[in-house]
Protein backbone atom coordinates (compact mmCIF):
# COMPACT_ATOMS: atom_id res chain seq x y z
CA UNK A 1 0.00 0.00 0.00
CA UNK A 2 1.27 3.47 -0.86
CA UNK A 3 1.58 5.83 2.06
CA UNK A 4 -1.07 8.51 1.29
CA UNK A 5 1.43 11.19 2.31
CA UNK A 6 3.64 10.28 -0.63
CA UNK A 7 0.91 9.17 -3.03
CA UNK A 8 1.39 10.72 -6.49
CA UNK A 9 -0.81 8.38 -8.50
CA UNK A 10 -2.88 9.83 -11.35
CA UNK A 11 -1.22 13.23 -11.01
CA UNK A 12 0.62 14.94 -13.87
CA UNK A 13 4.30 15.95 -13.92
CA UNK A 14 6.54 17.87 -16.30
CA UNK A 15 10.26 17.13 -16.01
CA UNK A 16 12.53 19.39 -18.06
CA UNK A 17 15.75 17.80 -19.28
CA UNK A 18 14.03 14.43 -18.92
CA UNK A 19 16.44 12.75 -21.34
CA UNK A 20 19.53 13.54 -19.26
CA UNK A 21 21.30 11.56 -16.54
CA UNK A 22 19.20 12.80 -13.61
CA UNK A 23 16.08 13.77 -15.58
CA UNK A 24 15.62 10.17 -16.71
CA UNK A 25 15.74 9.01 -13.09
CA UNK A 26 13.18 11.62 -12.02
CA UNK A 27 10.85 10.97 -14.98
CA UNK A 28 11.00 7.18 -14.61
CA UNK A 29 10.70 7.39 -10.81
CA UNK A 30 7.59 9.58 -10.97
CA UNK A 31 6.03 7.38 -13.69
CA UNK A 32 6.66 4.29 -11.53
CA UNK A 33 4.70 6.06 -8.77
CA UNK A 34 1.65 6.33 -11.03
CA UNK A 35 2.17 9.83 -12.42
CA UNK A 36 1.59 10.85 -16.02
CA UNK A 37 4.97 12.30 -16.92
CA UNK A 38 6.00 14.61 -19.76
CA UNK A 39 9.67 15.22 -20.52
CA UNK A 40 10.66 18.53 -22.14
CA UNK A 41 14.07 18.20 -23.78
CA UNK A 42 16.01 19.23 -26.88
CA UNK A 43 17.91 15.93 -26.95
CA UNK A 44 16.59 13.17 -29.22
CA UNK A 45 16.23 9.59 -28.05
CA UNK A 46 13.77 7.32 -26.36
CA UNK A 47 12.11 8.48 -23.16
CA UNK A 48 12.04 6.13 -20.16
CA UNK A 49 9.10 3.72 -20.06
CA UNK A 50 5.80 5.44 -19.22
CA UNK A 51 7.16 8.90 -20.05
CA UNK A 52 5.93 11.01 -22.97
CA UNK A 53 8.73 12.96 -24.68
CA UNK A 54 8.10 16.49 -25.97
CA UNK A 55 10.71 18.25 -28.12
CA UNK A 56 10.77 21.54 -26.23
CA UNK A 57 13.56 24.08 -25.95
CA UNK A 58 12.86 25.67 -22.57
CA UNK A 59 14.24 29.02 -23.76
CA UNK A 60 11.32 29.20 -26.23
CA UNK A 61 8.13 30.31 -24.45
CA UNK A 62 5.88 29.48 -27.41
CA UNK A 63 7.19 25.89 -27.49
CA UNK A 64 6.47 25.50 -23.76
CA UNK A 65 2.96 26.87 -24.28
CA UNK A 66 2.28 24.48 -27.19
CA UNK A 67 3.41 21.46 -25.16
CA UNK A 68 1.34 22.57 -22.15
CA UNK A 69 -1.76 22.89 -24.37
CA UNK A 70 -1.27 19.29 -25.50
CA UNK A 71 -0.73 18.04 -21.94
CA UNK A 72 -3.77 19.90 -20.60
CA UNK A 73 -5.97 18.53 -23.40
CA UNK A 74 -4.85 14.96 -22.73
CA UNK A 75 -4.14 14.79 -19.00
CA UNK A 76 -5.20 18.11 -17.41
CA UNK A 77 -3.12 20.78 -15.67
CA UNK A 78 0.21 19.52 -14.29
CA UNK A 79 0.55 19.06 -10.51
CA UNK A 80 4.35 18.93 -10.48
CA UNK A 81 7.03 20.82 -12.44
CA UNK A 82 10.64 19.71 -12.08
CA UNK A 83 12.98 22.33 -13.55
CA UNK A 84 15.93 20.04 -14.15
CA UNK A 85 17.20 20.96 -17.65
CA UNK A 86 20.53 22.66 -17.35
CA UNK A 87 23.83 23.44 -19.01
CA UNK A 88 27.28 23.22 -17.53
CA UNK A 89 30.57 23.55 -19.40
CA UNK A 90 31.35 20.03 -20.64
CA UNK A 91 34.72 18.39 -19.97
CA UNK A 92 35.66 19.01 -23.62
CA UNK A 93 34.64 22.69 -23.48
CA UNK A 94 36.75 25.11 -25.53
CA UNK A 95 39.88 26.27 -23.68
CA UNK A 96 38.61 29.81 -23.11
CA UNK A 97 35.53 28.45 -21.26
CA UNK A 98 37.69 26.66 -18.72
CA UNK A 99 40.41 29.26 -18.58
CA UNK A 100 40.91 32.22 -16.25
CA UNK A 101 37.84 34.05 -14.89
CA UNK A 102 39.18 37.30 -16.31
CA UNK A 103 38.66 36.01 -19.87
CA UNK A 104 35.50 33.90 -19.44
CA UNK A 105 33.59 34.48 -22.71
CA UNK A 106 30.39 36.50 -22.63
CA UNK A 107 28.66 34.16 -25.08
CA UNK A 108 29.32 31.16 -22.82
CA UNK A 109 27.92 33.13 -19.87
CA UNK A 110 24.81 34.04 -21.89
CA UNK A 111 24.24 30.44 -23.05
CA UNK A 112 24.32 29.03 -19.51
CA UNK A 113 22.17 31.82 -18.04
CA UNK A 114 19.71 31.48 -20.92
CA UNK A 115 18.93 27.82 -20.21
CA UNK A 116 19.50 27.57 -16.44
CA UNK A 117 17.83 30.82 -15.40
CA UNK A 118 15.64 32.13 -18.23
CA UNK A 119 14.48 28.64 -19.26
CA UNK A 120 13.50 27.88 -15.65
CA UNK A 121 11.76 31.25 -15.40
CA UNK A 122 9.74 30.63 -18.58
CA UNK A 123 8.63 27.15 -17.45
CA UNK A 124 7.55 28.64 -14.12
CA UNK A 125 5.64 31.43 -15.88
CA UNK A 126 3.79 29.10 -18.25
CA UNK A 127 3.33 25.89 -16.24
CA UNK A 128 3.43 27.46 -12.77
CA UNK A 129 0.89 30.01 -14.02
CA UNK A 130 -1.46 27.21 -15.09
CA UNK A 131 -0.98 25.52 -11.69
CA UNK A 132 -1.86 28.76 -9.90
CA UNK A 133 -5.05 29.06 -11.95
CA UNK A 134 -5.87 25.47 -10.94
CA UNK A 135 -5.17 26.36 -7.29
CA UNK A 136 -2.51 23.71 -6.63
CA UNK A 137 0.94 22.56 -7.64
CA UNK A 138 4.52 21.89 -6.62
CA UNK A 139 7.55 23.33 -8.41
CA UNK A 140 10.95 21.77 -7.76
CA UNK A 141 13.91 23.76 -9.09
CA UNK A 142 17.15 21.82 -9.28
CA UNK A 143 20.11 23.60 -7.73
CA UNK A 144 23.70 22.67 -7.04
CA UNK A 145 26.17 22.95 -4.19
CA UNK A 146 28.09 25.13 -6.66
CA UNK A 147 25.22 27.63 -6.45
CA UNK A 148 25.28 27.54 -2.64
CA UNK A 149 29.04 27.78 -2.23
CA UNK A 150 31.95 28.48 -4.53
CA UNK A 151 33.30 25.55 -6.55
CA UNK A 152 36.39 24.01 -4.95
CA UNK A 153 38.97 24.73 -7.62
CA UNK A 154 41.44 22.32 -5.95
CA UNK A 155 39.29 19.35 -7.10
CA UNK A 156 40.53 19.97 -10.65
CA UNK A 157 44.22 20.08 -9.73
CA UNK A 158 44.80 16.72 -11.46
CA UNK A 159 44.00 18.33 -14.80
CA UNK A 160 46.49 21.11 -14.22
CA UNK A 161 49.13 18.57 -13.20
CA UNK A 162 48.50 16.91 -16.59
CA UNK A 163 49.34 20.24 -18.22
CA UNK A 164 45.79 21.38 -19.02
CA UNK A 165 44.57 24.80 -17.95
CA UNK A 166 41.33 24.22 -16.04
CA UNK A 167 39.27 26.60 -13.96
CA UNK A 168 35.72 25.53 -13.05
CA UNK A 169 33.72 28.22 -14.87
CA UNK A 170 31.77 30.98 -13.15
CA UNK A 171 28.51 30.94 -15.17
CA UNK A 172 27.11 27.69 -13.75
CA UNK A 173 27.57 28.87 -10.15
CA UNK A 174 25.95 32.23 -10.84
CA UNK A 175 23.00 30.56 -12.59
CA UNK A 176 22.40 28.09 -9.77
CA UNK A 177 22.51 30.87 -7.15
CA UNK A 178 19.80 32.66 -9.11
CA UNK A 179 17.62 29.55 -8.80
CA UNK A 180 17.59 29.87 -5.00
CA UNK A 181 15.99 33.28 -5.07
CA UNK A 182 13.72 32.62 -8.04
CA UNK A 183 12.36 29.79 -5.85
CA UNK A 184 11.85 32.08 -2.83
CA UNK A 185 10.22 34.72 -5.02
CA UNK A 186 7.71 32.23 -6.44
CA UNK A 187 7.08 30.58 -3.07
CA UNK A 188 5.84 33.87 -1.67
CA UNK A 189 4.15 35.03 -4.88
CA UNK A 190 1.99 31.92 -5.18
CA UNK A 191 1.77 30.89 -1.50
CA UNK A 192 -1.92 31.71 -1.16
CA UNK A 193 -2.82 30.08 -4.50
CA UNK A 194 -1.64 26.66 -3.38
CA UNK A 195 1.48 26.47 -5.53
CA UNK A 196 4.61 25.59 -3.58
CA UNK A 197 8.14 26.17 -4.90
CA UNK A 198 11.31 24.65 -3.49
CA UNK A 199 14.92 24.16 -4.54
CA UNK A 200 16.48 20.70 -4.52
CA UNK A 201 20.23 21.25 -4.22
CA UNK A 202 22.50 18.38 -5.21
CA UNK A 203 26.18 17.64 -4.86
CA UNK A 204 28.16 16.10 -7.71
CA UNK A 205 26.66 12.94 -9.22
CA UNK A 206 28.78 9.87 -9.97
CA UNK A 207 29.13 9.45 -13.74
CA UNK A 208 32.29 7.41 -14.20
CA UNK A 209 34.53 10.47 -13.80
CA UNK A 210 38.34 10.07 -13.93
CA UNK A 211 39.66 8.29 -10.82
CA UNK A 212 41.81 11.29 -9.79
CA UNK A 213 38.67 13.43 -9.68
CA UNK A 214 36.68 10.81 -7.77
CA UNK A 215 39.45 10.53 -5.16
CA UNK A 216 39.75 14.30 -4.74
CA UNK A 217 35.97 14.59 -4.48
CA UNK A 218 35.67 11.78 -1.93
CA UNK A 219 38.23 13.48 0.28
CA UNK A 220 36.20 16.72 0.19
CA UNK A 221 32.80 15.24 1.12
CA UNK A 222 32.02 13.94 4.64
CA UNK A 223 30.30 10.79 3.30
CA UNK A 224 33.39 10.08 1.22
CA UNK A 225 31.70 9.55 -2.14
CA UNK A 226 29.68 11.23 -4.89
CA UNK A 227 25.85 11.15 -5.06
CA UNK A 228 24.26 8.22 -6.92
CA UNK A 229 21.64 9.52 -9.38
CA UNK A 230 18.89 7.42 -7.74
CA UNK A 231 19.57 9.03 -4.35
CA UNK A 232 18.06 12.34 -5.52
CA UNK A 233 14.66 10.72 -6.06
CA UNK A 234 13.59 10.43 -2.40
CA UNK A 235 13.82 14.18 -1.82
CA UNK A 236 12.04 14.83 -5.14
CA UNK A 237 9.11 12.57 -4.19
CA UNK A 238 8.92 14.34 -0.81
CA UNK A 239 8.81 17.81 -2.43
CA UNK A 240 6.39 16.72 -5.19
CA UNK A 241 3.90 15.06 -2.83
CA UNK A 242 1.58 16.13 -0.02
CA UNK A 243 4.24 14.96 2.48
CA UNK A 244 5.70 18.47 2.03
CA UNK A 245 2.37 20.36 2.10
CA UNK A 246 3.74 23.11 4.42
CA UNK A 247 7.19 23.30 2.79
CA UNK A 248 7.68 26.22 0.43
CA UNK A 249 10.58 28.53 -0.37
CA UNK A 250 12.94 25.95 1.12
CA UNK A 251 16.20 24.53 -0.10
CA UNK A 252 16.50 20.78 0.44
CA UNK A 253 20.17 19.90 0.32
CA UNK A 254 21.20 16.39 -0.77
CA UNK A 255 24.99 16.63 -0.59
CA UNK A 256 26.45 13.89 1.62
CA UNK A 257 27.44 16.64 4.06
CA UNK A 258 29.39 18.73 1.50
CA UNK A 259 28.04 22.01 2.96
CA UNK A 260 28.29 20.88 6.59
CA UNK A 261 31.98 21.68 7.02
Ligand X SMILES: NC(=O)c1ccc[n+]([C@@H]2O[C@H](COP(=O)([O-])OP(=O)(O)OC[C@H]3O[C@@H](n4cnc5c(N)ncnc54)[C@H](O)[C@@H]3O)[C@@H](O)[C@H]2O)c1
Q: Kindly list the residues in this chain that would bind ligand X in the complex (CB under 6 A).
A: 16-17, 19-23, 40-43, 56-59, 84-88, 115, 119, 142, 144, 202, 204-205
Q: 104 vs 136, which CB is nearer to ligand X?
A: 104
Q: 50 vs 194, which CB is nearer to ligand X?
A: 50
Output the smallest distance, CB 146 to ligand X, in A. 7
Output the smallest distance, CB 106 to ligand X, in A. 19
Contact 98/169 with Cβ under 8 angstroms? yes
Output the smallest distance, CB 213 to ligand X, in A. 11
DSSP-derived letter for residue 229 is G
| Strand spans (E) along the chain | 12-16, 36-41, 51-55, 80-83, 137-144, 195-202, 251-254
Output the smallest distance, CB 40 to ligand X, in A. 6
Going across the sheet that includes 36-41, the strands are 51-55, 36-41, 12-16, 80-83, 137-144, 195-202, 251-254
Q: In angstroms, rounded to a whole number, what is the distance separating the alpha carbons of residues 109 and 172?
A: 8
Output the smallest distance, CB 159 to ligand X, in A. 17
Q: 9 vs 211, which CB is nearer to ligand X?
A: 211
Q: In angstroms, rounded to a whole number, what is the distance separating the alpha carbons of residues 64 and 129?
A: 12
Output the smallest distance, CB 117 to ligand X, in A. 11
Output the smallest distance, CB 234 to ligand X, in A. 16
Q: 136 vs 168, which CB is nearer to ligand X?
A: 168
Q: CA 117 → CA 38, 70, 173, 200, 261, distances in Å?
A: 21, 24, 11, 15, 28
Q: CA 257 → CA 141, 168, 235, distances in Å?
A: 20, 21, 15
Q: 3 vs 208, which CB is nearer to ligand X?
A: 208
By beta carbon distance, the residue nearest ligand X is 20
Q: 66 vs 136, which CB is nearer to ligand X?
A: 66
256: left (phi over 0), alpha (psi -120 to 50) or beta: left
Contact 167/98 with Cβ under 8 angstroms? yes
Q: In angstroms, rounded to a whole number, what is the distance separating the alpha carbons of residues 226 and 163?
A: 25
Q: 138 vs 144, which CB is nearer to ligand X?
A: 144
Cα–Cα nearest to 23, from 31, 73, 172, 251: 31
Amino acid sequence: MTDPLFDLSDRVAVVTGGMGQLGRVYAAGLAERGMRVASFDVAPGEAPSGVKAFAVDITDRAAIERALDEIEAEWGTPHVLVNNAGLDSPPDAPAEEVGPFEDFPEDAFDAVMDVNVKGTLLCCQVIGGAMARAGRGSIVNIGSVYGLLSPVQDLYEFRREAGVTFVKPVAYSVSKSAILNLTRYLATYWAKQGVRANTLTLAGVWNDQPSEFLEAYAARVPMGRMLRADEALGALVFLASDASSYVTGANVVVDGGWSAW
